[in-house]
Structure 1
């Protein structure tokens, strides 16, 4: 297929080799791969995102604390319809609406619920993002990227976010607890009883007899966009954490998060 007929997917450039590592672009890459759509990746360094979106006429979908525009990726440009879309969740909705003959990202009448899930999951991982070691930006733009992230966070330097050994361990414990609560959705419980998590990763209670047990995906043998949301954040941790820290997270909740990432590998191709 000619490149002129392919969707252009604008993703954040990493250091070599080029690969997806940020969570929102991962959500879109999962979605494109799952639907089996032809696309090509346009890699963009973070300092160039503002000028690119302005050049293409794609308005910012966020704002900084001071009210100034906050330009992010991903974006997609679809030659079939001429549409340019620059919000991750809106991209997923667009792909289902425009290509209904391909596998569906959303179960029927679940867009609102998935939007709430998206916000909840983003909140959990964002609150613990300081546990990453280093995101794999290209070294040639690292200083510019650090300045951009410091501005977004409202601090003078990213050094302000450095944690002590004790603080890091406390955050790991809190993160495990938060993911343990999230894991209830895979066990189809969702109540207050800690069937699938207790501090230290131990199961103090088991689901009652006859309770349906979930697999790698939330509902069924195939993923939905809700699975891609969590998987995208886990892929970011995989790319940005120290290997020993990532192995620690993979093993939480009986290895659920490792199983999810492994199960999503079918749709993880970087084109």
Structure 2
């Protein structure tokens, strides 16, 4: 059984978007897995013990370990595959378990570019809103791990307008699929793909952490498009 490492919180459901991206894939591909909960102060030691490579290196040369991470005992429990980068995990799962394809033939490059946009540009205006809210959802021990957390202040409307600009842009791009080329909801035309899970994981983050302000707004934007995408992905949102 695959192990997926995730961070615990003080709400019933997990919220971390990069980890949800992998959980959606595991559920979509119907792969047996279990979640192992790791508080932020324990991530480095846990992943080192599992044999994971660092996800990046600081300017001072120190390795950085981060989630998501998986341990797959496909070869043997003594020599599992251990990965700790969301995109690397996604490609590994697609290659190793090709049933229920998420990368239609010839789409890996375009989907990789799409997901890079989601990670680096689309979510950027969300960070000042969502990071402080997410910090509040952490257990006390994990809260203290992040010494420079932002205070809990009211979010100005101009911050939400910057978020809506990104959603409007992405909606206009996806609209190009409406009609003969697709249903206009998912990125690859008619079937869900890795690109959709990248966007939906952001929606899950917002819904779990800011259901009455953030998600209440966003699900009404662009004619309810984001609510429809949520519905398309909803059957893959189980937590094991």
Normalising by structure 2, we get a TM-score of 0.87
CA drift of 1:55 comes to: 1.4
Map Cα deviations across residues 159-183 of structure 1 (whole Å, 9 max, x no partner).
4xx6665xx2112112111111111
C-alpha contact 1:187 1:212 (8 A) present in aligned 2: no
Q: Secondary structure of 2:3's partner?
A: strand
Q: Secondary structure of 1:41's partner?
A: strand
CA drift of 1:184 comes to: 2.0
| Structure 1 residue aligned with 2:125 | 127
CA drift of 1:16 comes to: 5.0
Mean Cα deviation higher: 138-147 or 35-44: 138-147
The number of aligned residues is 233
Structure with larger Rg: 1
Distance 1:233 1:138, change over 3 A: same
Q: Counterparts of 1:99-110 in structure 2 under 5 Å? A: 99-100=97-98, 102-110=99-107
Distance 1:65 1:178, change over 3 A: farther
Mean Cα deviation higher: 38-47 or 27-36: 38-47
CA drift of 1:265 comes to: 0.7
1:56 maps to 2:50? yes
| Structure 2 residue aligned with 1:10 | 5
| Structure 2 residue aligned with 1:196 | none
CA drift of 1:233 comes to: 0.8
1:80 maps to 2:74? yes
What is the alpha-carbon root mean square deviation over aligned residues? 2.3
Report the Cα distance in structure 1 between the residues aligned to 2:103 and 2:138, rounded to whole angstroms: 34
Report the Cα distance in structure 2 between the residues aligned to 1:66 and 1:247, rounded to whole angstroms: 42
Map Cα deviations across residues 32-86 of structure 1 (whole Å, 9 max, x no partner).
0111111111111111101111112212112446553321111111111321111
Distance 1:91 1:250, change over 3 A: same
Map Cα deviations across residues 217-253 of structure 1 (whole Å, 9 max, x no partner).
2234421000000000111011112513321111111
Q: Secondary structure of 1:42's partner?
A: strand
CA drift of 1:188 comes to: 1.3
Report the Cα distance in structure 2 between the residues aligned to 1:111 and 1:12, rounded to whole angstroms: 29
| Structure 2 residue aligned with 1:188 | 176
C-alpha contact 1:92 1:105 (8 A) present in aligned 2: no
For structure 1, list consecutive stretches of 5 or more residues without a partner in the other structure.
1-5, 151-156, 190-206
